[in-house]
Amino acid sequence: MTVRYSTIAADIKTKLEGISGTGLIHAYERQTVAQGKFIDLFKDSTGKICGWEITRRAAPETYTGPTNRHHQFLLQGYQGLQDATASASAFQDLCDDICDLFRDANAPTGATWQYRNGLEPGKTPVQLELIDDRMFGNVLCHHAVISITVTERIF
């Protein structure tokens, strides 16, 4: 039996919550038709926009003796841009902290999966794919996309 998306997403969420400054973390991709409501999903108690959402874009399988399932997770992060406080630098550092964590992360004890890029063994399991600035409604935000590959061995 395969590991469910929600099990791995919960582990990713728990690990992200251990990093200072990650803000609100959602274990699934948030959706809303109103841009203002979307922004509210990432505001902390002080009104600052800072948060991440987790989703999975694919889970291809390979067979080389055992069957392996390669979960391709995406983290999307948002942080309100504040030029006067050099928020761009802080957001870049936060992305580096997340990559550092997942590069050598361990799965829970007894798990049949690990943070490992089984599809492309020459790559680490975490890749910082995009950092840019985007307008959300009338709010300018830093935005990042980080991919994490989790390889599961199916018995």
Question: Residue 17 maps to which CATH number?
Answer: 3.30.2000.30
- The number of distinct structural domains making up the chain is 1
Task: Locate 27 and state its tokens.
Answer: 């274990």
Q: Domain range for residue 71?
A: 5-154
First to last CA, the chain: 7
Tens-digit pLDDT profile for the chain (155 aa)? 789 999 999 999 999 999 999 999 999 999 887 777 888 889 988 889 999 999 999 999 999 888 999 999 999 999 999 999 999 999 999 999 999 999 999 999 999 999 999 999 999 999 999 999 998 778 899 999 999 999 999 97
Q: Identify each DSSP E strand in 15-125 by its residue range.
A: 24-26, 50-58, 61-63, 67-80, 113-115
